[in-house]
Structure 1
Amino acid sequence: METTSTTAQAERNKAAMRRVYAEAFDQGRTEVLDELFAPDAVNHTAPPGHRDGIAPLHALVAMLRTAFPDGRTEIEDMAADGDTVVMRNWYAGTHLGPFLGHAPTGRAFRFRQIHWMRFGADGRIAEHWGVRDDVAHLQQLGIIA
């Protein structure tokens, strides 16, 4: 049975996860990353050399906002249990800037993502795992067939 404190913790964590995507990724407000992530956070999905700390997250948001300035996260569902939140969402936008060495195509895209975050005792995000349908994304942009 959930207690009031665990319910409050789950709601706080879900709200923080929503803010990461709505404010940082969708609006480019990267100061939110410094507020919501622990300084030693680990992004297990990022390539080696880009997993540790907040700086790589700032670079990721900047790159995505340049490539897809109208990029928006559409949350489909969220679930929280203890210190963990899982979110199923869509990411949609238009390719209006350089992306992975490719010139803008002007093409719209929409693809599914799943994000899993673990929160530390201080309420900040300590770890992230993500699964994205990168093939669908690149196909919609015309980068791959």
Structure 2
Amino acid sequence: MRRIYEEGFEQGKLGVLDEVFAPDIVNHTAPEEHRVGVEPVRGLIRMLCTAFPDARVEIEDMVAVGDVVVMRNWYQGTHQGPFMGHEASGRSFRFRQIHWMRFNADGRVIEHWGVRDDVAHLRQLGLID
């Protein structure tokens, strides 16, 4: 899980996704048309790394029980590129996330659930009141 966020989401190393995700991963948090497979995650990381190239994940807690790992973290950065149809604002953001992942016997993620404070994120970027 740590590699997904450090190498993937922070460093934009998309090759790590094929190592850590099962090909048929189900991301229960994503919109239905982007829910299954590694390619939607790859697209998400590309978009976020373009919009927030300095984004960092600050892990507060990580707990593993059996085949499940849960992480509580902060996601922070600066809006430096296009995001959801909005040009860069230069604004900084910091908001909480919780991620729950289930791993298969090969150590690859097969399911993900995430809880993000999207309202705080969008407010800090000035995209909503």
Verify same fold: TM over 0.5.
Answer: yes
Which structure carries more strand by proportion?
2
TM-score normalized by structure 2? 0.99
Q: Give distance in 2, aligned partners of 1:46 and 1:70.
A: 23
Amino acid aligned to 1:100: M
Deviations 1:6-39 (A, max 9, x none): xxxxxxxxxxx00000000000001000100000
Larger Rg: 1
Amino acid aligned to 1:58: R
TM-score normalized by structure 1? 0.88
RMSD between superposed Cα atoms in Å: 0.4
Question: Which stretches of structure 1, 4 residues or more, deviate above 3 A after TM superposition?
Answer: none
Same amino acid, percent of matched pairs: 71
Aligned length: 129
Q: Give distance in 2, aligned partners of 1:121 and 1:49.
A: 27
Pairing 1:30–2:14 present: yes
The equivalent of 1:116 in structure 2 is 100
Listed as ranges, the gaps of 5+ residues in structure 2 are: none
Q: Give distance in 2, aligned partners of 1:90 and 1:48.
A: 25
Listed as ranges, the gaps of 5+ residues in structure 1 are: 1-16
Q: Give distance in 2, aligned partners of 1:87 and 1:111.
A: 14
Q: Give distance in 2, aligned partners of 1:98 and 1:85.
A: 32
Alpha-carbon deviation of 1:80?
0.6
Q: Give distance in 2, aligned partners of 1:144 and 1:136.
A: 9
